[in-house]
Amino acid sequence: MTTVGFVGLGTMGSPMARHMFDSLPPDDTMVLHDLSDAKVTDLLAGGAVWCATPRELAAKAEIVFFMVPDIPQIKASLDGADGLLAGIESETLIVVCSTVAPDAIRTLDAEVAEASNGLAHVIDAPVSGGQVGAEAGTLSIMVGGPEKFVERAMPYLGLAGNPVHLGPTGAGEVAKACNQLICAASIVANAEAAVVAERAGLDVAKLFDLMSGGYASSRIMIDKAPRYINKDYTVSGAAAFWIKDLRAYLEEAKVTGTVTVQGDRLLDAFQGVVDAGWGEQDTAIVQKFIEENQA
C-alpha cells in the first residue's frame, strides 16, 4: 500500500493527478493539496482525500508530486509549522514536476535531506506536452535522480505520460531547459512568420495548413496555428513562465561553456512581452509583440 500525494492542481497538475488516481493500484490511495479543491471535486468524490495543509499531506503520503510554478512556491509548501517538512515522520520521496533551474533542484535536495534528517529526498521529473499532453496523459517526462528513488516514482509517472530516466538529480531539469529553448524558438518563429505572411498579403490559415505538411511542421505549429491565425491569446501556457525557463537554459549553457546563438534573443522577446504587460496571456502573444515593434 502506498499513499500518493499531489501538490499543485492547476492547468497541468489536475489532469496529471487525475490520470494517476484513475489507474492507481487497488490498495493505493491519493491525498491532495492546493489553494482550492475546485478542479478535483471528481477525484474527491471518487475517494481521494483533501488535506488542508502540506503538513497534513506529508503525514499521510510516502511519495509526493509537486506541480507548482517554481522553487519559491515549492519552498512555501515545504517550510513553516504547516509545511510538508513538519509532517514527515518516515521516508518520503518528493518528485518535482515543475520546471526549475537544475542547480535549484540539486540545492533543494540537499536542503530537504538535511532538514528531514535524511528521511526525505528530492528527484526531478519536469514534463513537456503542455495542457493538451497533460489532459491526454501523453506528457514527455524527463527524470533525474538516483536509481533507487527513480524506481519508486516511475510507475506513477508512467500513468501521466512517458517518463525516461536521464541521469542524476538535476538531469531532468537540464533536459527540460534544452526542450524549452527549442519550444521557445518554435513559438517565436511561427509568430514572426505569421506577421510577415499577413503583411505580405498571404492567407495565414492556408500558409500554416501547407507548412504543417512539410519540414517546418511541429507539434507547436499544429497546436498554436489556430491562435496565430485568429490572434487568440487566451492563456493555456502563460508567457511569463518562459522567462525563468530560458534563464535556466542560459545558466546551464554558461556552466557547460556553451556559446548560445538563440537563447539570449528568445529571452529578450519574452521579456519584451512581459514588460508590455502581456505576461499572463498565452505564449502566442509574442505575435502581438512582434506586430507592435517597428523595424
DSSP state of 295: -
123: number of Cβ within 10 Å: 24
Residues 6+ apart with CB under 8 A from 274: 239, 240, 243
Residues of the chain with CATH 3.40.50.720: 3-168
How much is the average pLDDT of 112-130?
Answer: 96
Cell matching residue 225: 496555428
| pLDDT the model gives residue 200 | 98
98: how many CB neighbours lie within 10 A of its CB? 26
Backbone dihedral angles phi then psi of residue 279, each to the nearest 5 degrees: -65, -25
The rounded Cα 165 to chain-centroid distance in angstroms is: 17
C-alpha dihedral sign at 142, 273, 251, 84: negative
Give the start-end residues of each E strand in the chain. Answer: 3-7, 29-33, 49-50, 63-66, 92-96, 120-124, 127-128, 139-144, 161-167
Residues annotated as catalytic (active site), given as ranges: 176
Could you report the per-residue pLDDT of 164-212, keeping only the tens digit for each? 999 999 999 999 999 999 999 999 999 999 999 999 999 999 999 999 9
Residue range 174-292 forms a domain whose CATH class is mainly alpha
Buried b (16+ CB within 10 A) or exposed e, 250-263: bebbeeeeeeeeeb
Q: What is the DSSP letter of 169?
A: T
Could you read off the pLDDT of 36-61 as tens digits, one per residue?
999 899 999 999 999 999 999 999 99
Read off the DSSP letter of residue 292. H
3-state SS assignment for residue 97: coil
What residues does CATH 1.10.1040.10 cover in the chain?
Answer: 174-292
How far lies 126's CA from each of 66, 141, 258, in Å?
10, 6, 23
Cβ contact 188:286 at 8 Å: yes
Model confidence at 1: pLDDT above 80:
yes
pLDDT over 90 (residue 237): no
pLDDT, position 188: 98
Give the three cell numbers for residue 121. 529526498
pLDDT band at 120 (very low <50, low <70, confident <90, very high): very high
Ranges 119-123, 129-133, 254-258, 259-263: which has the least confidence? 129-133
Which pLDDT value is given to residue 130? 87
The pLDDT confidence band at residue 295, using thresholds 50, 70 and 90, is low
Which residues are registered as beta bridge partners of 144? 124, 167
- Provide the CATH topology of domain 3-168: Rossmann fold (3.40.50)
Mean pLDDT of 67-75: 95
Gap between the Cα atoms of 16 and 140, Å rounded: 12
pLDDT at residue 116, rounded to an integer: 97
The C-alpha cell 509545511 sits at 83
Distance CA 160, CA 163 (A): 9
Q: Which H or E run contains 277? A: none
Q: CA-CA distance, 186 to 173, in Å (whole number)? A: 20
